[in-house]
Structure 1
Amino acid sequence: MSPVAERVLLVDSYDSFTFNLAALCRKAAPDCCIHIIKNDQLSFQELLSYTDYFSAIIVGPGPGSPEKPEDIGAANHLWGVDDSRLVPTFGVCLGLQSLATQYGGKIKRLPVVKHGQVSVVEHTGGDIFEGVGIVKAVRYHSLHVELSGSEDLEELAWSFDDDEKTKITMALKHRKRPFWAVQYHPESVLTEGGGFEVMSNFWCLARSWNTARNRSPIPWDSKASSVFGSPWPNLRLPSISKHSTDSRTVLTTTLHLPDLQAVTICELLDVTNDKSPFVMLESAAGPGRYTIIGCLHASSPHITYTIGDDFLHLQQGKSCSRVPLESQDVWSWVADFMNQRKASGGLPNVPFWGGLVGYLSYEIGVEALSIPITAAGKQLRHPDMNLVFVDRSIVLDLEDGTIYLQSILEGDQKWLIDTTELLRSAAQEHSTPTIVAPSSLNARTSFSLPDGKTYQNRVSTCQEYLSSGDSYELCLTARTRITLRDLPLVPSETESPSWQRYKFLRELNPAPHAGYLRLHPTTLVSSSPERFLSYSRPPGATFQLRPIKGTVRKGPDVTRTVAEKELKGSPKEVAENLMIVDLIRHDLHGVVGEEVDVKQFCAVEEYSTVWQLVSVIEGKAGDEVDAPDSRWANGALGWECLKHSLPPGSMTGAPKKRSVEILRTLEDDERNVYSGVLGYWCVSGAGDWSVTIRSCFKYDGRYGCEHAPGAPPDDHDEEWVIGAGGAITALSEPEKEWEEMLIKLRSVLRVFGYSASREN
């Protein structure tokens, strides 16, 4: 008879580092099964009826305080069970505070908040610190415990704050019960010495305690499985059809026309006609390399969806259908849509062969977090998912001047021949695109910027939430609105003001992940510097995220050495980056499983106009998921990663869910297109999405699907929206945060003829 598999129960208090902790536990106890539940998923009595199935329990970190029942949930009572129901238990951060308060400890505020800060931790060298040397630990807390002197608890580790004046408990144990806990985060990427080593010791202590008392877990059964589900990692399959059409063949023509610019090509392809949809994702600056231009036609499928709806709109030519989602969510519907449109035979060095191009809003990520949300003012609201299927495309390789013409339409050689001739003729003319200054693009412009004092007051409010333990970092933003008056009621079909603004923006602020998307009713003009998520073609797909936190503008005296000193030498900048790195690791671990690594931490990278602090996180899925015949083989796993990583952590803060909830009380309106993502899902299974920042967008309901939400513009007026903000930490200064937001705003406002003298 085979022994009963050992299982660990991890109680998640809605933290953004939980899957990192699960990965650490799996590394320390490779043969155990890890089950994760939310702290409010079961009542304590319900939870207690299942604890005998587990060899150990971990009470994870989370926002808030153990003194608030809604923050700690059922986990708070695990420390007080009868002796007959004892299970070895390990607490982390909020878990330690919960243990301490159950045995007389008091919750206090730290003299100085420690979020993303590394401290040296001294310890006794025993119990969970047996054989452990120097510990440098990452701390995410603003609260700490003050022990009462009770004989029940013993301090195992501590650190000193406030210039060595204040001793802070960093670890403790119960003298008689199998309970241990640490205040710091052993799962953080920067924790050294007190992570894997401490978790391994806990697992050994837990197994020894169980063995000494002849305690073994109850065999797993259908009753437990119905409550706790499959152990982590458990990939969530979207409900996509098993049936798919035969793979299409990519037709490709290669040209070498190094002098032909993307802007010129777009103007050959009807970009100046505002009535027609158009998409371009441009690498307008290094380190970007490829520019993708969609060659849309009347039958190009256009998908729009608004949060809260149980349907989407699918437009092809003049036909616009309202498609019920029925038992699917919109993510599964799109995955099924792409499963019917696989393609092969494209050149392996070309990143995009065809597929979906467009944007996803910030709020669609909020919806995926299961936060109640309603789309206010739907009749004049940008769609939350706005994607067009591109079956003809032009891809420019800016590194060697090669241009790739591609089609996944059967028998489309004539289009390739005609387009080749068009591009060659244009290259022979050596024409230079005209850049129009903003003053000639409108008659009257008014600007409505956020109020400086209000924004600074909200920075202070954010810091109060940080001090109370509700968040570690909050990305506070605000919207600026630009109204253009006295514009022609019927726009010219040969001169697009929005396209002229994009050309001016790319000159002023060239960016590696720029874009011009005209997908009615939305026009988006973007000069984004930040890639969010990219995933390569399966099999062997790599999922990569590249968060940016920390920026210094270039100048004559700002060399790499100076930039590195200002960025890597700043505790604030490194802490901001670290928090997002740990959050992103959690998001990726939650989908692909154990294989997630930080390939680069806080490296200073050079861009056209700035130096930036960039980290790189990569993940891979198991071979059984990544096989060529897998249901994930067309990029559905990358799509699933995108779903579970939104909204971008760099635009929310951490923990993500609580931070989003707080920000919704501090910001006046929806972010919508801003701080979502724009990019593509290729028919080969690859994808690339950037964060929608340094961007502006407008609503125009005159064109597109007649049944979709929309309305004509108000007389001759046109309104553009720009979002901007910054990550607020305990080290932030309200006035400097306001100045930082204005700097980000100006990079886009200048295309509307804005002058800094207008600022309040």
Structure 2
Amino acid sequence: MRKKASFTVEDINRFKTNLLQWAQQFDEVVWQDSNGHHGEYHSFDAILAVDGLTSMVTDYENAFEDLKTFQSSTKDWIFGYLSYDLKNDVERLSSSNYDGLEFPDLFFFQPKKIIFLKGNLVSFHYLNMVDEEIEEDFKDLNSSSTTYSQNRLPQTAVSIKHRIAKEDYYANVKTMLNHIHRGDIYEANFCQEFYAEGLEIDPVATYFGLNAISRAPFATFLKLNHHYLLSASPERYLKKQGTKVISQPIKGTAKRAYDVAEDSELAATLAADPKERAENIMIVDLVRNDLSKSALKGTVQVEELCKVYSFDQVHQMISTITSKVAPNKNPIDIIKETFPMGSMTGAPKVSAMKIIEALEATKRGLYSGSVGYISPEGDFDFNVVIRSILYNKNKSYASFSVGSAITAKASPEREYEECLLKAKAMQQVLEDVHNHREDQR
């Protein structure tokens, strides 16, 4: 069904730049880049999927069953996203908050062209109908004369607004704390949107700017017609590798410092922080419960608890939970039984999602959803859509949301500061990139 051909590339960074710019001729694009982070469950350095032969775009109603049908009928690689609001298909919930982005709830496509990168090896997996284009595409992509230049766009002042005023944020966190003290929930992830209207950006330039700042292990560029996701996600939601399922939730954030000793102290402080550890452990318990729905009895394990990893912008506390599933377990069912991810909801999950919906001002949409792929064998890997800019080109509307976990010991002021820390990279890149000039890379 697919022709495969591999080539060695000398300048892999130039090839990556050319690859993403070349992809813009297509309406459907998913690019994922590990940025050199090679963890235990690393599969490849980067992957590009473009040009849908078949696709599905739908709202949340019966979405997972429709995806199951699509996946089983293609019997091929499929790439796409799951929006947070698919929660309404999993549970009896609703989404009625303001939606300035207007992304569909679910999107997957069967790409005609897939390109894998590992080290300096580039592998093309093209459907037979386009397999004669492999040599020509590689020649174009590997040409040293190919350069990327940003589009010249009108120079407009960027005005990033808060959807929730600081005072309202404080009041809503206090309301959430009342729910916690009353015993309705133990923890909930409370998010707020930052947005800009009437903004024209070059999505590729903006992605490159964000990726240069963060260099995250689950970085993603997604295009669906006029909808774009530019993501510097550090978090894996769920991976299936044979009969093994892996979840790696993040809970716990600390800033970085230029001074090595100070930076080490910040990481050590995060590792020992009782509030941050409590947040993380609550989500670990939630994920263990979610994985147990599809796991073979006795196979759910916590491989790593509250380990601090350092990224360019922040230190993060990450745990790794794994399980084993039956060989014939449907991959879509595994995803549905764990969705949405615990790190972006709370505990108990359904109660937390109801409270989140009541207190947040924006429909989350693709933010805190997931982007990834499912292989022909039923393996998959999906990230968590955080640290991301979402852009509706037709509406000239750009948005990024950030959140933090609210627990009994939370302080509204400290949570607000954590949100600003997480928002820093997205705000910086929008302010830096919105006035485009000719720029050769």
Same fold (TM > 0.5): yes
Residues 109-129 of structure 1, C-alpha deviation per residue, up to 9 Å, x if partnerless? xxxxxxxxxxxxxxxxxxxxx
> Is the Cα contact below 8 Å between 1:579 and 1:654 reproduced in 2?
yes
Per-residue deviation, 1:584:
0.2
For residues 637-648 of structure 1, what are the structure 2 equivalents within 5 Å? 637=331, 639-648=332-341
1:364 and 2:86 are equivalent in the alignment: yes
Counterpart in the other structure of 2:183: 469
Counterpart in the other structure of 2:436: none
Per-residue deviation, 1:689:
0.6
Counterpart in the other structure of 1:583: 286
Q: Which structure would you say has the larger RCO, counting Cα contacts within 8 Å and 6 or more residues apart?
A: 2
- Amino acid in the other structure paired with 2:175: T
SS at match of 1:525: strand
Residues 616-652 of structure 1, C-alpha deviation per residue, up to 9 Å, x if partnerless? 000101xxx31xxx4x4xxx33x21211211111111
> Is the Cα contact below 8 Å between 1:257 and 1:403 reproduced in 2?
yes
Task: Specify which of 336, 341, 360 is matched with residue 74 of structure 2.
Answer: 341
For residues 728-743 of structure 1, what are the structure 2 equivalents within 5 Å? 728-743=406-421
Task: Specify which of 122, 129, 134 is matched with residue 403 of structure 1.
Answer: 122
Structure 1 residues 302 and 379: CA distance shift in structure 2, 3 A: farther
Task: Specify which of 349, 352, 358 is matched with residue 665 of structure 1.
Answer: 358
Per-residue deviation, 1:384:
0.5
Structure 1 residues 441 and 588: CA distance shift in structure 2, 3 A: farther
Counterpart in the other structure of 2:253: 551
Per-residue deviation, 1:596:
0.8
- Amino acid in the other structure paired with 1:266: L
> Is the Cα contact below 8 Å between 1:444 and 1:484 reproduced in 2?
no
> Is the Cα contact below 8 Å between 1:382 and 1:521 reproduced in 2?
no
Per-residue deviation, 1:367:
3.1
Counterpart in the other structure of 1:534: 239
Per-residue deviation, 1:519:
0.5
Separation (CA, whole Å) in 2 of partners of 1:563 and 1:366: 39
Counterpart in the other structure of 2:195: 481
Task: Specify which of 117, 137, 142 is matched with residue 419 of structure 1.
Answer: 137
Per-residue deviation, 1:593:
3.6
Per-residue deviation, 1:564:
4.3
1:290 and 2:23 are equivalent in the alignment: no
Separation (CA, whole Å) in 1 of partners of 2:154 and 2:56: 31
> Is the Cα contact below 8 Å between 1:307 and 1:375 reproduced in 2?
no
> Is the Cα contact below 8 Å between 2:97 and 2:360 reproduced in 1?
no
Separation (CA, whole Å) in 2 of partners of 1:649 and 1:565: 25
Task: Specify which of 425, 429, 437 is matched with residue 747 of structure 1.
Answer: 425
SS at match of 1:381: coil
Structure 1 residues 331 and 609: CA distance shift in structure 2, 3 A: same
Counterpart in the other structure of 2:157: 444
Per-residue deviation, 1:432:
6.2
1:306 and 2:59 are equivalent in the alignment: yes
Task: Specify which of 447, 451, 458 is matched with residue 172 of structure 2.
Answer: 458
Task: Specify which of 278, 281, 285 is matched with residue 29 of structure 2.
Answer: 278
Structure 1 residues 378 and 665: CA distance shift in structure 2, 3 A: closer
Counterpart in the other structure of 2:319: 615
TM-score, with length taken from structure 2: 0.89
CA RMSD of aligned residues (A): 2.6
For residues 209-220 of structure 1, what are the structure 2 equivalents within 5 Å? none
1:257 and 2:9 are equivalent in the alignment: yes
Per-residue deviation, 1:556:
3.0
- Amino acid in the other structure paired with 1:686: D
Separation (CA, whole Å) in 2 of partners of 1:379 and 1:651: 20
SS at match of 1:286: coil
Per-residue deviation, 1:331:
1.5
Task: Specify which of 266, 280, 285 is matched with residue 20 of structure 2.
Answer: 266
Structure 1 residues 754 and 402: CA distance shift in structure 2, 3 A: closer
The unaligned stretches of length 5 or more in structure 2 are: 434-441
Separation (CA, whole Å) in 1 of partners of 2:407 and 2:178: 10
Counterpart in the other structure of 1:221: none
Counterpart in the other structure of 1:107: none
Separation (CA, whole Å) in 1 of partners of 2:189 and 2:161: 21
Counterpart in the other structure of 2:379: 686
Counterpart in the other structure of 2:225: 520
SS at match of 1:674: coil
> Is the Cα contact below 8 Å between 1:279 and 1:358 reproduced in 2?
yes
Separation (CA, whole Å) in 2 of partners of 1:295 and 1:558: 42
* Percent of aligned pairs sharing the same letter: 26
TM-score, with length taken from structure 1: 0.53
For residues 79-478 of structure 1, what are the structure 2 equivalents within 5 Å? 248=1, 250-261=2-13, 262-267=16-21, 269-271=22-24, 273=25, 276-287=27-38, 289-296=44-51, 300-308=53-61, 329-342=62-75, 355-371=77-93, 373=94, 381-397=102-118, 400-407=119-126, 409-410=127-128, 412-424=130-142, 426=143, 428-429=144-145, 433=148, 442-449=155-162, 450-478=164-192
Separation (CA, whole Å) in 2 of partners of 1:733 and 1:461: 12
More helix by share: 2
- Amino acid in the other structure paired with 1:550: G
SS at match of 1:592: coil
Separation (CA, whole Å) in 2 of partners of 1:484 and 1:285: 35
- Amino acid in the other structure paired with 2:134: L
Separation (CA, whole Å) in 2 of partners of 1:651 and 1:392: 32
Per-residue deviation, 1:670:
1.2
